């Protein structure tokens, strides 16, 4: 298990390498299998934190629950108007 540091991810060369790899991988996949959007999560997933099992399997529901706002912002366009209470996900 390793933790990707925010400073490392912020480097333009790292973003380019990842984008190139995603493009290469998508070329071998059917359209419905392709990666459309991705976002880095700046957190370490551990057994103690509950995100993985002792066998190192991901607990997808818990990870999604803990990162729900990030998931919503990545998967759906957001519309925000001038009123603070008028917020909707398209």
Distance CA 34, CA 61 (A): 21
H or E element at residue 65: helix 60-66
Q: Say whether both 27 and 51 belong to one domain.
A: no
- pTM for the model: 0.54
Question: In the beta sheet, which residues pair with residue 52?
Answer: 58
Q: In the predicted model, is pLDDT for residue 85 greater than 50?
A: no
**60 & 33 share domain:** no
Q: How many domains does the chain have?
A: 2
Q: Do residues 22 and 48 share a domain?
A: no
Residue 63 sits in which domain range?
Answer: 44-90
Residues 6+ apart with CB under 8 A from 75: 37
Which band of pLDDT confidence, cut at 50, 70 and 90, is reported for residue 76?
Answer: low
Summarize pLDDT for 10-49 with one digit per residue, the tens.
Answer: 778 888 898 899 999 999 999 999 988 887 777 778 899 8
Nearest CA among 66, 48, 35 for reference residue 1: 48
Q: Are 11 and 40 in contact (CB under 8 A)?
A: no
């Amino acid at each position: 298990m390793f933790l990707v540091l925010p400073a490392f991810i912020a480097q333009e060369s790292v973003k380019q390498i990842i984008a190139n790899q995603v493009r290469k991988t998508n070329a071998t996949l059917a359209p419905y299998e392709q990666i459309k959007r991705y976002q880095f999560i700046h957190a370490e997933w551990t057994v103690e934190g509950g995100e993985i099992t002792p066998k190192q399997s991901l607990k997808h529901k818990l990870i999604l629950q803990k990162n729900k706002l990030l998931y919503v912002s990545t998967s759906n366009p957001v519309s925000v108007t001038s009123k603070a209470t008028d917020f909707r996900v398209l």
